[in-house]
Structure formats: structure tokens, C-alpha cells
Amino acid sequence: MINCKINGIPVQVAEGATVLDAAKKAHVKIPTLCYNPDLTPWAACGICVVKVEGSNKMLRACCTPAAEGMSVVTNDAELVEIRKTVIELILSTHPDDCLSCPRNQNCELQTLAQEFGIREQSFPKRLNEIPLDDSTGSIILNPEKCIRCGRCVTVCQQMQNVWAIEFLGRGESTRIAPAADVKLGESPCIRCGQCSAHCPVGAIYENDQTKEVWNALMKTGPEAKTCVVQIAPAVRVALGEAFGLPPGTDLTKKIYTALRRMGFDAIFDTNFSADLTIMEEGTEFVKRLTGAFKTGLSIATKDKSLPLITSCCPSWVDYMEKYYPDMIPNFSTAKSPQQMMGAMIKTYWAAKASVDPAKIFSVSVMPCTAKKFETHRDETMYCSGYQDVDISITTRELARMIKQAGIDLVNLPDSEPDSPLGPYTGAGAIFGATGGVMEAALRTAYSLVTGKDLKFVEFTAVRGLQGIKEASIHIGGHEIRVAVAHQMGNIQEVLEQVKAARDSGRDTPWHFIEVMACRGGCIGGGGQPYGATDEIRTKRIRAIYDHDDAKEYRCSHQNPYIQQVYKEFLDKPGSHKAHQLLHTHYEERPLFLK
């Protein structure tokens, strides 16, 4: 431990802690802009500058280690003037269009300008007139607003290992752009949106499609459509943050009410189709597994039938097709819960409700920007004869729509989703957290193989924010090894171990692998409310598992409405009809489009 002082306040911090960490422990706020707790600090902006007493040194608090006996001054007239000047210099290259900016009132630069009382331009404007890039359809890059803090580059390269964006140019000409200066949609970008979630200003943001949703909701007469909506597992435990509620507040039943008041005709829950996903993906895993039991588990893993890898995350699917196309045979063909729900709405539900599927407008509310791309990624997303999901909006977009509608979300009465595509189990709920898909799949896989339900359904080894997690379970007298990876930068290690085992003729390290592109899983998705930290992610995850604990049914195969769907419509998991509607295929995609 190291003893130091912050503005005369004695503080003890662990060795390796920064001056910024020490200040937080002393309850002293040092302003920052380029700093983010998820990322390695690199002191680009200089706003966190502080003084060391007894020397002429001015240091940047975010990257300076605290030292024994150090006495730091974080705030005096000179430091305030320096920070104000830095902010004014940044503003001199930033557009003054806050009212039309998607980050208005939720912008870190705007907040700093207000806190430092900046009311006039001290430096001449020097704007970079660079065209807006909307080529991905999911996220939009507006280079004019970029303040060159480098967060997006660090996220894309270090956290996600995608390398779609980088610094180009030198000096005053430095800018952030897609690699090789191509369009973002032509780059290796996987549309995860973590760049937008970490950008402190409005330089990268989601493609806002709320106007299209409002237009559909307001249509009347012959043009009117039946508007149907589904909400993802992670949305319900994060939406409240946009309304001032603590992270992890579960608003499930109030969201149903809000969506009805907005004008949606039917409210379904993606948790239901998460249960459906488990039935299909779990059956796929069990089929490979039982085949492996017959031939010998080690033989099956060496001939590449195992491991099975989850496919619920569209960013991970995009990454795999670009970086690991040789692993396509190991990818589950099961669609994501979003797309399964879209297909079921315009086939099964449309028939039961006597609604023409051509007249259905299907909306999903997702924590993810890549879901926008997934709705039209290939022909299998049109298996109902129409685009299965018409529009996917993020949690942030839903928050804006609720505010636009003047709905007092916090004080709404509770309500329930519509049947039969609404009721769900605890297994469906935990899909929103890293490890949740794996845990839900194991609960049902065990039952499918043994004919018995687990007495204890919790698999705590696959929970939490550790980048790679491992567990094992005995099924049918065999030890089944599983792995869970989240945050895209961690998956390479997992896949390389699988490939190394194959190349050397050894058994695969794992038989089943779950991957989620974003840190913490969907609860940390690129479309969630801004400002997520590990503390916030942990609270969101805890709320999801609490939701699971409270459910009457904890395993997907126990859901009576899932049983009804198969009995009335799909026949059985893995059937021909199920494959037509609920499964997809993959193909190699070039890293750079020509």
C-alpha cells in the first residue's frame, strides 16, 4: 500500500494505483475527457493535469502512478485556467450544433464546458469538413465532431481486437477514420457499437430509426399496420438509467405498459424466443454430443464435430465469418432470439391472430447496434416471406421514444406480455449476461440427454466478468467441458487453443463455447445507456440473475408455451419446419470489401 495526500487529505492506495484513483478515494473529482475506466489511460487531452507539491511538476492524473509520500494539488486558480484553455482549444475544432446532436445533454464535452463556465469562443474556429459515414447502417461516424481522444481506437483495437478504425495523418491533420481510409461499412467493422458506447461526444452514434417506428405507429386507414414489438433480456435492467434510476433496476412490466401506451398492438418478449433458441441450439448440441458418445468423445472432437459454438451475437457472427471462416462448421445454425421471434410473429402468431403478415410491422428493442444489421444480413432473415424483423432499435432509442411520448415510465402500472410469444423461463432471462446462454443451454441439454432435470440449475463458474471462464458438467457419464468468452478481444485465445489441439491431434479443450462480443455480454451492449463501467455491468447482471431466481420455471424446456408452439406448429426441436424458420447459414466474408 502507498500513502499519499490529495489536497492535504491522507489517502492509502494499492501499489500501481494512479493519482486519479487516489483522488477518487479521497472523494475529490479531477475532470477527465479522454480517460475511461475500461481503457488503458494514455493522457491525450491533458484536462486531468495536477500539481505535485514541492516541485514544479505538473502531471496528468489518469496515467501517473501514486508514489509514497506524494502530495498532490488537484485544484487551484492556475489548474482551473489550464483546464479551461484545453477545453476551449477542443471546442475551437468542434461544431456548435449541440441542439441537433444525438449526445445533447449527455455529452462529456458539453458537461465540461458548462462546468467551466465557457460562454464565448476564445480561439478561432477550425472545423474539419469531413463527410459523415453511415455505410454500416448500424452506427454512424461523424468525423467533424471527433475530438481525437482516441477512445474509439483503443476500444476497437485493444478491447475488441477488430482494428476497424485507427489514427490517420499527423499533427493538426490527425483524424480518426476506418483502417485504410475506406468507408466503415467496407472495413473489418463488426458493428458492435462499442466505439459509440465509449465516445464522449457525438462523433459515433447509433443509426436512429425511431422516426420509422413512429411513422408505423401513427399510420391509419388502409395504410395502417399491426405494430408488434419484442424486448431483449438486457434492456429491462438498463433502461431505468436513462430515467435516473439505479443501474440494475428491473423495469420489465413497466416497459410492457409503456410500449402499449406508445401504440403497439402486441407486446412480446425476446426471453420467450431465447427459450426457443435453447430448444434448437440445445438439441443441436445434444445431437453432436450423443453422436460423440457413440463414436468416442475424443474422436468426435478431433474430427471437428465439436466444439459447438453459440451464434446469438450478430457481431460475433460477423467477426467469425471475417476472421475465422474455417470454424464455420462448428457454429450453431440456430438464429438469434431476435430473428427467431421475428419469424414466429409473421408465421405462427399471424395465423393464430388472423393477421396478414404483410400488414405486420415488427420492431425489436435491443441493447445492440449490430442487431440493426442482422435484420437483413441474408435471405434467411426473410423466411416468413417478408423481412422477419422490420426495425431494430436500441435501448437508448427506446428511452428517447418514451420521453417523446411524455410517458412517466417510473410511475407506470405493471402489465404482462401477450401470449403465446410472451411468457418465458428464467433460462430465457439470463441470455442478457455473459455465460447466460451457456448456463441456459446446459440446463436443458442435461435434461435432453438424461431425461432428468437438474436439482440445482445454477452454473456459477460461467458467471461474472472474467474474460474467459471455464466449467465442466457430467452428462451421460461423460465430462463435458465448456468455455465462455466475452469482449471480442478474448475470443482469439479460445479459438487458437481449439485450433492448436486439432493441429496436434489432441482432444479439444472444450465441447461447447459461448461467445458475446461486448464486455459483460448484452448488458454491456453498444446500444445501452452511456457510461457503463464494470460496477454498472455487475449490477445489471445481478438483476438478470435475480429475475431468473424469481421465475416459476428455470429451464427452457419447462416453458408450457414453448411446448405449445412445438405441438401446434413446429413439431419438434430440429424438425424440418424448425430448420426452415429458426436456423441460418454462414459464409466467409472479406475483411475489406472491394
State mean pLDDT over 498-510. Answer: 90
Residue 491 has pLDDT above 70, yes or no: yes
- Check if 522 is active-site: yes
| Same-domain status, 318 and 174 | no
Question: What's the mean per-residue pLDDT of the chain?
Answer: 94
Position 281 scores a pLDDT of 95
- Check if 415 is active-site: no
| Same-domain status, 377 and 246 | yes
Q: Which of 187, 273, 332, 362 is catalytic?
A: 332
Instruction: Check which CATH number belongs to the domain holding 245 and give it.
Output: 3.40.50.1780
Q: Which of 101, 313, 522, 555 is catalytic?
A: 522
Share of the chain above pLDDT 90, in %: 87
Position 593 scores a pLDDT of 73
- Check if 458 is active-site: no
- What is the domain range of residue 157? 91-206
Element (H, E) at 309: strand 308-309
> Using one digit for the tens of pLDDT, what is the confidence trace for 368-406?
999 999 999 999 999 999 999 999 999 999 999 999 999
Q: Phi and psi of 460, rounded to 5°? A: -65, -20
Q: Quick one: pLDDT band at residue 289, thresholds 50, 70, 90?
A: confident
Q: Which of 51, 335, 371, 469 is catalytic?
A: 371
Position 145 scores a pLDDT of 94
- Check if 496 is active-site: no
SS3 assignment, position 504: coil
Of 411, 437, 466, which residue constitutes the final position of a domain?
411
> Using one digit for the tens of pLDDT, what is the confidence trace for 210-250?
999 999 999 988 889 999 999 999 999 999 999 999 999 99
Query: DSSP letter string over 4-38?
Result: EEETTEEEEE-TT-BHHHHHHHTT-----SS--TT
Q: Quick one: pLDDT band at residue 30, thresholds 50, 70, 90?
A: very high
Alpha helices in 143-295 (DSSP H): 151-154, 194-198, 210-218, 252-262, 270-295
In a domain, 84, yes or no: no
DSSP secondary structure code for residue 508 in this structure: P
- Check if 281 is active-site: yes
Position 184 scores a pLDDT of 95
Query: DSSP letter string over 62-103?
Result: TTPBP-TT-EEE---HHHHHHHHHHHHHHHTTS-S-GGG-TT
In a domain, 593, yes or no: no
Position 302 scores a pLDDT of 67
Of 206, 233, 262, which residue constitutes the final position of a domain?
206
| Same-domain status, 290 and 350 | no
| Same-domain status, 458 and 571 | yes
Residue 339 has pLDDT above 80, yes or no: yes
| Same-domain status, 96 and 126 | yes
Position 594 scores a pLDDT of 56
Residue 2 has pLDDT above 90, yes or no: yes
| Same-domain status, 353 and 329 | no
Q: Phi and psi of 580, rounded to 5°? A: -60, -40
Instruction: Check which CATH number belongs to the domain holding 27 and give it.
Output: 3.10.20.740
Q: Model-level pTM?
A: 0.95
CA distance 511 to 303: 12
- Check if 374 is active-site: yes
Q: On the CB side of 156, how many CA atoms lie within 13 Å of its CA?
A: 25
Buried b (16+ CB within 10 A) or exposed e, 434-453: bbbbbbbbbbbbbbbbeeee
Position 294 scores a pLDDT of 77
- Check if 416 is active-site: no
Q: Quick one: pLDDT band at residue 414, thresholds 50, 70, 90?
A: very high
Position 172 scores a pLDDT of 80
In a domain, 86, yes or no: no
Q: Phi and psi of 591, rounded to 5°? A: -65, -35
| Same-domain status, 184 and 224 | no
Q: How far is CA 545 from CA 258, 301, 384, 540, in A?
A: 24, 32, 33, 9
Q: Which of 379, 535, 552, 587 is catalytic?
A: 379
Residue 301 has pLDDT above 80, yes or no: no
- Which of 129-138, 470-479, 580-589 is least confident? 470-479
CA distance 120 to 112: 14
- Check if 419 is active-site: no
Position 502 scores a pLDDT of 87
State mean pLDDT over 141-169. Answer: 94
Contact 84, 75 (CB under 8 A): no
| Same-domain status, 181 and 325 | no
Share of the chain above pLDDT 70, in %: 99
Q: Is 579 exposed, middle or buried (0-12, 13-18, 19+ CB in 10 A)?
A: middle
| Same-domain status, 134 and 194 | yes
CA distance 85 to 234: 41
In a domain, 398, yes or no: yes
Residue 167, number of CB atoms within 10 A of its CB: 12
| Same-domain status, 561 and 500 | yes
State mean pLDDT over 447-471. Answer: 93
Of 28, 51, 75, which residue constitutes the final position of a domain?
75
Position 129 scores a pLDDT of 84
- Cell numbers at 546, concatenated: 435475480
Instruction: Check which CATH number belongs to the domain holding 183 and give it.
Output: 3.30.70.20
Residue 512 has pLDDT above 70, yes or no: yes
| Same-domain status, 456 and 348 | no
State mean pLDDT over 58-66. Answer: 95
Q: Phi and psi of 483, rounded to 5°? A: -135, 150
| Same-domain status, 154 and 106 | yes
Q: Are β-strands 71-73 and 49-52 bridged in parallel, bridged antiparallel, or unpaired? A: antiparallel
Q: Quick one: pLDDT band at residue 110, thresholds 50, 70, 90?
A: very high
> Using one digit for the tens of pLDDT, what is the confidence trace for 534-552?
999 999 999 999 999 999 9
